[in-house]
A and B are shown apart, each in its own frame.
Chain A
Amino acid sequence: MRSYLLRRLLQTLIVLFAVITLVFVMFRLLPGDPTAMLIDQSLDEAARQRLLVEWGLDKPLFDQYLTFLKNIAQFNFGVSFYYQAPVWQAIHTAWWNTVVLMGLAMIIALVAGVVIGAYLGWKRGSLAERAGLVTALMLRSTPIFWLGILVLMVFAYWLHVFPTGGMRQLGYHSESLLDTYLSFDFALHLALPLLTASLYFIADPMMVMRTCMLEVKGEDFLEYLDALGFSERARMRHCARNALLPVVTFASIMVGFVFGGQVLLEIVFAWPGIGREMVLAIERRDYPIAQATFVVMSVMVIVMNFVVDILYSYIDPRIRYA
């Protein structure tokens, strides 16, 4: 067991290293350099060179790469060219905005999805199941940005119940992070993107749960419970508990989105999150921010993958590890 763990850990580290290197190479291949996006009134060629020196972009690529690696090892992503501030300082609010939106959406999607999925699995063959499945299929086939546009059209433009975008009414002064996210105004702005994201994510946990229910329902111990005289409710609960494992797996995959955000969703709702920030950074050639967002997003997914693998080998003893 321990040797397996060590080996997986080592492999994961290699994968991380590969992704980090890939990210560095990808961004350096982008045509143009950060100065191109900047103000041009006073920027003659010599001045441009000076900026490049200031940003360390005059050094050979390999040196830049080493610096990048060294910094990352210290969790330091450098100073943003565009914001002229350390990366974390420049984007931490965007990060929290995304985590709040996507985290809530994930919780809603998982809870609602599991409950509905379990119900659908239990009511196999009913009209409700059919309706549920068609809805899930349609949601799976819908691009998230279009779903967002529809939600905006209905609730913001026609019914005028919710604001069209952004996160905050003007003049709103929040004194603390908690205060920022615990206000009616924030809830109002959060409602539509949250609805869209939840709808978008709900189909998968719902379907996974339903299938699991079907499989578990077929297993012997349910008949055993039946024989013991357990009520339908109690049996259903029992059944659902057994089906949760794959749902948890699925949840771990979604964690990547929580930290990476959904670029398209954030664009439609003008949500000041990390996904938008990343796209803007790519456009501005703000390497430090682009690399930081990209790397953290990748690292989250890879680490979650690793954790799930390890968890699996603990939870389910049937699985052999070499």
Chain B
Amino acid sequence: MQGQVSRRSFLKTALAGASAFAAPSAFLTLAPGAVAAPGQPVPPISMMYYGNWPEIVELFRKAAQDFRKIGLTPQLNPAPSSVAVPKTLQQHDYGDWGSILWGATPERIDPNFYLEEMLSSKSKRNYGYYNNPKYDEAVKAQQEEMDPGKRAALVKSAQAIAAADYPIWWLAHPVVISAYNQKFFANVEEILGAGYGNMYSIWNYLNITPKTARKTLRVGLEIEINTLNPFTAPTSPNQQFMRFFYDTFAVIGPDREPHPRAAESWKTVGPKTVDVKLRQGMKFHDGKPVTGEDVAFTFAYLRKWDFPFFRSALEVIENVEVKDYDIRFHLKRPYAPFFANVLSWLFILPKHVWQDIPEKAGVKNPGEYQNPKPIGSGPFVFGHWRKGQEIYFKANKEHPLAPKVDDVYFVLIPSVDGNAGALDRGEIDLTQQTLTPALADQLAQNPEVKVGYAPSHAVYEVRPDLRKAPFNDVSFRKAIYHAWDRRPIINYFAGKAIASGNTPITPILKQWHNADLKAPEYDLDKARKVLKDAGYTWNSDGQLVMPA
């Protein structure tokens, strides 16, 4: 309670400071070749978005109608997401406006991802070219504040600085629709961004409890994993999958906070020093004990081979000191996401297995090793993987967080429809990938099945190239915010999706979300008024005309 009060007062001061910082659009330079000349009609606006995602297609269909009503000429340029994503994020070749759906990967629960990656001037993902030094400073400040309470205030002030500039139209947070068989299983929670069964969270797999004598959990898997190699697993779900048998130090719980896993506890001893105490008595699946030596080996190994997927996690770590079960991390700089994003990402390798690889495995690089039988110390023991059919895990009952089930089958059912059908007929107990609302409706009629709509920190956004006129005008951007009708997305999720505030961070993450930042509501009259007040006019054809 006390913490909350102090946090709020801190927030107030922070916000006051933030609004002073926000000098709208003064810092934006006009890109060469911008064609919107003063006193001339606003040129057609090309927009790239995912042409193969129904809810996004509907969003833009509706928006295009509305934009015409306020005098704009939208040029819709949909592309399959496999094209739109690289074009937008890598090549920044999206026309005037681009649109991305940021998925609910676990590391994005920490606010740093959205704050730094989206809008900091150095980020490659800042494809709208937002550039506000005050904002960059605020991002750095929250990153370096190791005290969670103080950091929350800084996070909120960073959001406020960006919000005042309207650099991105944040639209909605989807829901994760998942279901499980409640006749046979209990103790399943709705995890943010993961629902009941998504691999983004191991939590439910640890805690799901059989109600009957059958202790085997059967999970539908729509997209198969790619590899058992922990270093090169190329997708986020695959990486998370590896952490079922390779223990991380921490695990993110339903409260979205890191909880001890292989680590017994941790504490910040200095701004750049974190002490982690490894649990004693843990064993690898082949019976050998887990020691500090394995931890030291893991870090040396990862550093030596420099696997792309581990670079940014290792990048903040200066070095690691190991003494028995005491591990001391020396960071290069204070890094608040360390606990959520590094301790729950890095895992412990058994030294006795990997010290001979790649040499004894006959490969040049451990990334090429097929690792047919992964040995870790995690709560699940790898059983088998029959490609195209199933993956089988046994529970590691000796693990401190031992699962309540005895074993788990992941059964490959390569369509969402097939997964729903299998759950309905009792052939599986839990769905992994998200269901569609229509399927959820149908499943809900089955009394054995519990359907859940878990909130998600994923977010739909559209952003303009801020270097071009008139998108470099904050009033214009604010007016457009009034013209976005988010109902197509909300409707697509059967009314369960949440409209975003003027911030990427979902209101569900109360400790980080700045609730004062309301997004301008959908109202074309207000959009027109904002434009009018900013000096825009309309010509006889109804086209919007730039201020003279």
Residues of A bordering B, CB below 8 Å: 30-33, 36-48, 50-51, 54, 81-85, 93-94, 97, 156, 163-174, 270, 272, 276, 282-285
Instruction: List the A side residues contacting B239 at CB < 8 Å.
Output: 39, 41
- B227, A83: Cβ atoms closer than 8 Å: yes
Task: Give 1 or 0 for each of B223-261: 1 = CB within 8 Å of chain A CB.
Answer: 000110100111110110000000000000000000000
Instruction: List the B side residues contacting A165 at CB < 8 Å.
Output: 413-415, 417-418, 421
Q: Which residue from B91, B229, B311, B387 sits with its C-beta under 8 Å from A32?
A: B91
Contact flag A32-B86 (CB < 8 Å), given A47-B311, A82-B234: yes
Judged by a CB distance under 8 angstroms, whether B218 is at the interface is yes
Judged by a CB distance under 8 angstroms, whether B196 is at the interface is no
Instruction: List the A side residues contacting B306 at CB < 8 Å.
Output: 50
Query: What separation, in Å, do the CA atoms of A76 and B316 have in the docked complex?
Result: 41
A-B residue pairs in contact (CB < 8 Å), sample of 30: A32-B85, A36-B85, A37-B86, A39-B105, A39-B238, A39-B309, A40-B105, A42-B308, A42-B311, A43-B311, A45-B124, A47-B309, A48-B308, A50-B308, A51-B308, A54-B367, A84-B368, A85-B370, A93-B387, A97-B388, A165-B415, A168-B389, A168-B412, A170-B422, A171-B411, A172-B389, A173-B386, A270-B413, A270-B414, A282-B82
Instruction: List the B side residues contacting A85 at CB < 8 Å.
Output: 227, 370
Least Cβ–Cβ distance between B469 and chain A, in angstroms: 27
Least Cβ–Cβ distance between B38 and chain A, in angstroms: 35
Least Cβ–Cβ distance between A80 and chain B, in angstroms: 8
Query: What separation, in Å, do the CA atoms of A42 and B234 have in the docked complex?
Result: 11
Instruction: List the A side residues contacting B422 at CB < 8 Å.
Output: 170
Known: A167-B388, A270-B418. 10 other contacts (CB 8 A): A31-B83, A31-B87, A36-B85, A36-B86, A170-B422, A171-B390, A172-B389, A172-B390, A173-B386, A174-B386
Least Cβ–Cβ distance between B43 and chain A, in angstroms: 24
- B232, A31: Cβ atoms closer than 8 Å: no
Residues 294-332 of B at the A interface (beta carbon under 8 Å): 306, 308-313, 315
Query: What separation, in Å, do the CA atoms of A245 and B348 have in the docked complex?
Result: 66
Query: What separation, in Å, do the CA atoms of A172 and B412 have in the docked complex?
Result: 11
Residue of A nearest to B79 (CB): A31
- A46, B311: Cβ atoms closer than 8 Å: yes
- Kindly name the residue among A42, A282, A283 whose own CB sees the greatest number of chain B CB atoms within 10 A: A42
Judged by a CB distance under 8 angstroms, whether B60 is at the interface is no
- B418, A166: Cβ atoms closer than 8 Å: yes
Q: How many interface contacts (CB-CB < 8 Å) are there between A and B?
A: 141
Instruction: List the B side residues contacting A44 at CB < 8 Å.
Output: 311-312, 315
- B411, A163: Cβ atoms closer than 8 Å: no
Judged by a CB distance under 8 angstroms, whether B409 is at the interface is yes
Least Cβ–Cβ distance between B217 and chain A, in angstroms: 11
- A43, B309: Cβ atoms closer than 8 Å: yes
- A163, B421: Cβ atoms closer than 8 Å: yes
Judged by a CB distance under 8 angstroms, whether B80 is at the interface is yes
Judged by a CB distance under 8 angstroms, whether B427 is at the interface is yes
Least Cβ–Cβ distance between A148 and chain B, in angstroms: 12
Query: What separation, in Å, do the CA atoms of A82 and B105 have in the docked complex?
Result: 19
Q: Which residue from B235, B312, B417 sits with its C-beta under 8 Å from A38?
A: B235
Instruction: List the A side residues contacting B232 at CB < 8 Å.
Output: 84
- B415, A270: Cβ atoms closer than 8 Å: yes
- B312, A41: Cβ atoms closer than 8 Å: yes
Instruction: List the A side residues contacting B105 at CB < 8 Å.
Output: 39-41
Instruction: List the B side residues contacting A38 at CB < 8 Å.
Output: 234-235
Judged by a CB distance under 8 angstroms, whether B428 is at the interface is yes
Task: Give 1 or 0 for each of B70-89: 1 = CB within 8 Å of chain A CB.
Answer: 00000000001011011101
- B91, A84: Cβ atoms closer than 8 Å: no
Query: What separation, in Å, do the CA atoms of A38 and B387 have in the docked complex?
Result: 20
Contact flag A83-B308 (CB < 8 Å), given A31-B86, A41-B345: no
Query: What separation, in Å, do the CA atoms of A278 and B316 have in the docked complex?
Result: 39
Query: What separation, in Å, do the CA atoms of A85 and B341 have in the docked complex?
Result: 29
Least Cβ–Cβ distance between A146 and chain B, in angstroms: 16
The 3 closest A-B pairs by CB, nearest first: A32-B86, A47-B308, A170-B411
Judged by a CB distance under 8 angstroms, whether B190 is at the interface is no
Instruction: List the A side residues contacting B226 at CB < 8 Å.
Output: 82-84
Least Cβ–Cβ distance between B450 and chain A, in angstroms: 20
Residue of B nearest to A168 (CB): B389
Query: What separation, in Å, do the CA atoms of A84 and B367 have in the docked complex?
Result: 9
Instruction: List the B side residues contacting A272 at CB < 8 Å.
Output: 388, 412, 414
Residue of A nearest to B237 (CB): A39
Query: What separation, in Å, do the CA atoms of A145 and B232 have in the docked complex?
Result: 36
Judged by a CB distance under 8 angstroms, whether B107 is at the interface is yes
Least Cβ–Cβ distance between A55 and chain B, in angstroms: 11
Judged by a CB distance under 8 angstroms, whether B446 is at the interface is no
Query: What separation, in Å, do the CA atoms of A46 and B409 have in the docked complex?
Result: 38
Judged by a CB distance under 8 angstroms, whether B90 is at the interface is yes
Least Cβ–Cβ distance between A122 and chain B, in angstroms: 43
- B427, A170: Cβ atoms closer than 8 Å: yes
Residue of B nearest to A39 (CB): B236
Instruction: List the B side residues contacting A97 at CB < 8 Å.
Output: 388
- Kindly name the residue among B93, B105, B227, B370 whose own CB sees the greatest number of chain A CB atoms within 10 A: B227
Least Cβ–Cβ distance between A137 and chain B, in angstroms: 31
Contact flag A284-B418 (CB < 8 Å), given A36-B90, A47-B309: no
Least Cβ–Cβ distance between A65 and chain B, in angstroms: 21
Residue of B nearest to A152 (CB): B417
Residue of A nearest to B227 (CB): A84
